[in-house]
Structure 1
Amino acid sequence: MSVVATYAVEGMTCGGCAKRVRNAVDVAIPGVEVIEIDPKSGRMRLGSDAPLPEETVRGAVESSGYRFAGVLA
């Protein structure tokens, strides 16, 4: 894993929410090696070998029913 990015996801309130997002990302984005999600803060950290296109991450998050709110610094 050489690239780590943190994203904001809105609408998650519990571990079940985080699991839905995690499953969607795992299925939709090949090459993701690390998925860490904190539903209370709304932060999702992804680790991969190459940078992930923002639109790909957005699509995965939104397919799970939550709002992708952008890339965090």
Structure 2
Amino acid sequence: MTAETKTELPQVASGCCSSTGSCHDGAAEIPAGGVTTVYQVKGMTCGHCEGAVSSEISEIAGVSSVTAVAATGRVTVVSEAPLDEDAVRAAVDEAGYELVGQA
């Protein structure tokens, strides 16, 4: 059984990526000024893993929501502006997993 863990802060307007987690290039601007980026994370196997990754990424300044799905290894992040990939990598490392890159 795979659980979807969602850490939510104040919502921004939804866009094409907010519900599906997929977009043309892995990152798309949302009309309200936010950016959705989908990352590929290696090593997540369960709801606990999803929660750990979501919790660490949520601590990055400017992140408004994180959705991690262990079954696909994809983590969808909505933020005020594009995130520094090194900051995301450090957060994923802190959770005990490996950031492969943008999906």
Determine if the TM-score, normalized by the shorter chain, exceeds 0.5. Answer: yes
- Structure 2 residue aligned with 1:39, among 64, 70, 81? 70
Bigger radius of gyration, 1 or 2?
Answer: 2
Q: Deviations over 1:41-73 (max 9, x none)?
A: 00000001100011110010011100110012x
3-state secondary structure, aligned to 1:51: coil
Which structure is higher in helix share?
1
Query: Letter of the aligned partner of 1:5 in structure 2?
Result: T
Letter in 1 for 2:41: V
When normalised by structure 1's length, the TM-score is: 0.92
After superposition, the CA RMSD in angstroms is: 0.9
Higher relative contact order (CA 8 A, sep 6+): 1
CA shift, 1:16, in A, is 0.4
Extract unaligned runs of 5+ from structure 2: 1-11, 13-33
List structure 1 segments (4+ residues) > 6 angstroms apart after TM superposition.
Answer: none
1:13 aligns with 2:40: no
Identity %: 38
